[in-house]
Amino acid sequence: MSDQGVDRSKRQFLTTALTVVGAVGTGYIAVPFLSQMQPSTKAKAAGAPVEIDISKMETGQLIRAAWRGKPVWVLNRTPEVLEILAEQTDKLADPLSLESNQPESSNNEFRSIKPEIFIAVGLCTHLGCSPTFRPEIAPNDLGEDWKGGFFCPCHGSGFDLAGRVFRGVPAPTNLDVPPHRYMSETRIIIGDESGADA
Nearer to ligand FES, 119 or 152 (CB): 152
Determine which residue in the list 100, 105, 106, 157 makes contact with ligand FES, applying CB under 6 A: 157
The site string for ligand FES over 111-150 (x = CB under 6 A, - otherwise) reads -------------x-xxxx---------------------
What's the CA gap between 171 and 112, in Å, rounded? 21
Instruction: Tell me: does residue 155 bind ligand FES (CB under 6 A).
Output: yes
Nearer to ligand FES, 47 or 128 (CB): 128
What's the CA gap between 139 and 130, in Å, rounded? 20
The site string for ligand FES over 33-72 (x = CB under 6 A, - otherwise) reads ----------------------------------------
Nearer to ligand FES, 105 or 125 (CB): 125
Contact 178, 119 (CB under 8 A): yes
Cβ atoms within 10 Å, residue 54: 17
Rounded to 5°, the CA angle 100-107-129 comes to 35
Contact 92, 165 (CB under 8 A): yes
